């Protein structure tokens, strides 16, 4: 068929007679505003790929090097711009199962992605046909919704429903599995966007009585503390949150995925929560009298031992997902609903207050942390570069405004501690699942989604080797991602635990690494290695100034530990500083 005209590209086709199911898939994606797909072709999805050929001027298909790269790239694409849904496309069998890790990651981190997989023909289902896998059964526990299409007529409605479910309420992943016969069969295409699904209530009406109760309790508080989670960013509620903080005077701490919702230079910001978070907000969680949680789920990395967590406090929980209320921490006042609306209702009910003595406590603990941890992190005691030095310098050179994508491990925690995030949706990491290999493809997707932004991937030497094949994708599409590998020749976080809790028994955590620079140069990407402290600043300048993809390996101290640290299962008040 001929390429569509410009006017047809602006106004997607919603009706067309006698087309294949495969073309219906493509037209459905266009009707949902999809402009980018991350995928890998194969036999069971080949009809859709054939249909994509005729629409390649309207949909940018990125050929990844592994299906796990496709789903992580789709996550990064969606995370940097919450108004978008990431799309991943894969074939049946191993193609589909290679998406599973990323789907689970997207589920726990509430990332809106739609995965479309091919499947064997309907008459072969259940026969153990070539590359047949029950992807519906496998992904049922890790998706908001999944569905298998066996006839072409189902395609438009199922895809419309998939996008609606993925992006509404608490976002998350959806998977659509399409048998090959449905892709070949013909239908009269008629696309209607989905606006509701029976029994699915994505956004509950805000309980104004609960908001009033919350305001009354907050106004009476002597030592309140607000915990800011990922839901604030997902709900685009940063403006409302800052208005509440500035009027109420309440100190605010951020979860890992909430970083950026409150700029780190904001006067109400008191630090980062969690296992390797700041000393003050962790300890003072167990001293506040009113704890206000906004868009966060009381993950165990934030709470530590639930039996000792904030027992002295009245808890107010602003949350869109009813399943999170009282799941881990009992809420005295649950406020269900979209936090953007709930905080707007709360604002006029709050009294303008200040808490000088309460803030002074945070400063006291900050000083302790500075003396025992931070000063040491930046003290060049040896000639080896410390991870914190790299992140602090990067933060200063980018003014805390780059999109920072991290993998999982020590580098992730150091970045969370020392990169001074000033803008929302600039911290992209694997939170709940802790997926090594997430970073490189996620950074790739983020850069494609927001080409105007500086996107920097910060990775450990272990995680880098899990998905480094995506350098091929970066090379092919000239995706200007900047990659910094902090190389300590260890699986650093596991080694730290082995040192602290397993009597220094370093069981299979030391890594003999290849020459990363040579590997990256093999993909025709500019690369360099830094070992000396004096070389770091100029190397970062070259990386940031490049308009093309750029790779920098920084050889860091080999057995460095990340503190503070709340030991697993311990109280947040028992956070270790050394």
Residues catalogued as catalytic: 67, 130-131, 180, 493
Q: What is the largest CA-CA distance in the chain?
A: 73
C-alpha 468/C-alpha 275 separation (Å) is 28
DSSP type of residue 408: S
How many residues belong to the chain?
Answer: 578
C-alpha 78/C-alpha 98 separation (Å) is 19
* Cβ atoms 192, 160 nearer than 8 A: yes
Q: Encoding tokens for residue 469? A: 């094949």
* Cβ atoms 42, 74 nearer than 8 A: no
* Cβ atoms 328, 303 nearer than 8 A: yes
Residues 6+ apart with CB under 8 A from 180: 44, 47, 118, 119, 120, 121
* Cβ atoms 231, 168 nearer than 8 A: no
C-alpha 501/C-alpha 495 separation (Å) is 10
> Rg of the chain over CA atoms, in angstroms?
24
Q: CB count, 10 Å around CB of 93?
A: 21
Kindly state the helix (H) or strand (E) to which residue 484 belongs, with its residue range: strand 482-487
Beta bridge partners of 259: none
Helix or strand or coil: residue 33?
Answer: coil
Nearest CA to 354 out of 238, 439, 203, 250 is that of 250
Strand ranges (E), 77-217: 86-90, 113-119, 145-149, 173-179, 186-190
Name the pairing type of β-strands 526-530 and 314-319: unpaired
C-alpha 371/C-alpha 392 separation (Å) is 17
Helix or strand or coil: residue 554?
Answer: strand
Q: Is 382 exposed, middle or buried (0-12, 13-18, 19+ CB in 10 A)?
A: exposed
């Amino acid at each position: 068929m001929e390429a569509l005209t410009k006017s047809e590209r602006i106004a997607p086709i919603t009706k067309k007679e006698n087309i294949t199911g495969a073309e219906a898939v493509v037209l459905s994606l266009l009707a949902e505003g999809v402009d980018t797909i991350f995928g890998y072709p194969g036999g069971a999805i080949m009809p859709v790929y054939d249909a994509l050929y005729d629409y390649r001027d309207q949909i940018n298909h990125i050929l990844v090097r592994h299906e796990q790269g496709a789903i992580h790239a789709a996550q990064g694409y969606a995370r940097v711009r919450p108004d978008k849904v990431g799309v991943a496309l894969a074939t049946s069998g191993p193609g589909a199962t290679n998406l599973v890790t990323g789907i689970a990651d997207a589920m726990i981190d509430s990332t809106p992605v739609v995965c479309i997989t091919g499947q064997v023909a309907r008459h072969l289902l259940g026969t153990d046909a070539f590359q047949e896998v029950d992807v519906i059964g496998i992904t049922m526990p890790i998706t908001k919704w999944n569905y298998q299409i066996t006839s072409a007529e189902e395609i438009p409605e199922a895809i419309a429903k998939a996008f609606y479910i993925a992006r509404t309420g608490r976002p998350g992943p959806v998977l659509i599995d399409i048998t090959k016969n449905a892709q070949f069969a013909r239908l009269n295409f008629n696309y209607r966007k989905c606006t509701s699904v029976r029994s699915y209530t994505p956004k509950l009406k805000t309980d104004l009585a609960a908001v009033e109760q919350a305001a009354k309790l907050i106004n009476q508080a002597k030592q309140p503390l607000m915990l800011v989670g990922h839901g604030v960013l997902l709900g685009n509620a940063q403006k409302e949150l800052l208005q509440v903080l500035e009027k109420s005077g309440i100190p605010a701490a951020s979860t890992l995925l909430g970083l950026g919702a409150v700029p780190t230079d904001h006067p109400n910001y008191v630090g980062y929560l969690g296992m390797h978070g700041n000393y003050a907000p962790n300890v003072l969680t167990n001293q506040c009298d009113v704890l206000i949680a906004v868009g966060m789920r009381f993950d165990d990395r934030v709470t530590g031992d639930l039996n000792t967590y904030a027992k002295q406090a009245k808890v107010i929980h602003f949350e869109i997902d009813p399943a999170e209320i009282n799941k881990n921490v009992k809420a005295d006042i649950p406020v269900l609903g979209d936090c953007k609306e709930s905080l707007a209702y709360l604002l006029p009910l709050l009294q303008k207050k200040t808490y000088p003595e309460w803030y002074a406590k945070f400063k006291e603990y900050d000083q302790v942390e500075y003396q025992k941890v931070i000063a040491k992190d930046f003290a060049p005691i040896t000639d080896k570069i410390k991870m914190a030095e790299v992140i602090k310098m990067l933060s200063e050179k980018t003014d805390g405004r780059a999109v920072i994508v991290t993998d999982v491990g020590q580098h992730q925690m150091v970045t969370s501690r020392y990169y001074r995030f000033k803008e929302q949706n600039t911290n992209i990491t694997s939170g709940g699942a802790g997926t090594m290999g997430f970073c490189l493809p996620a950074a790739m997707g983020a850069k494609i989604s927001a080409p105007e932004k500086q996107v920097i991937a910060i990775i450990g030497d272990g995680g880098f080797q899990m998905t480094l094949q995506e350098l091929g994708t970066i090379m092919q599409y000239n995706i200007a991602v900047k990659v910094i590998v902090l190389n300590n020749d260890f699986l650093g976080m596991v080694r730290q635990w082995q040192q602290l809790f397993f009597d220094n028994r370093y069981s299979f955590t030391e890594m003999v690494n290849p020459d990363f620079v040579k590997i990256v140069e093999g993909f025709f990407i500019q690369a360099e290695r830094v070992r000396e402290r004096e070389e770091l600043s100029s190397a970062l300048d070259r990386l940031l100034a490049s308009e093309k993809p750029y790779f920098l390996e920084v050889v860091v101290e080999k057995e460095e530990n990340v503190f503070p640290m709340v030991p697993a299962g311990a109280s947040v008040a028992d956070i270790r500083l050394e």
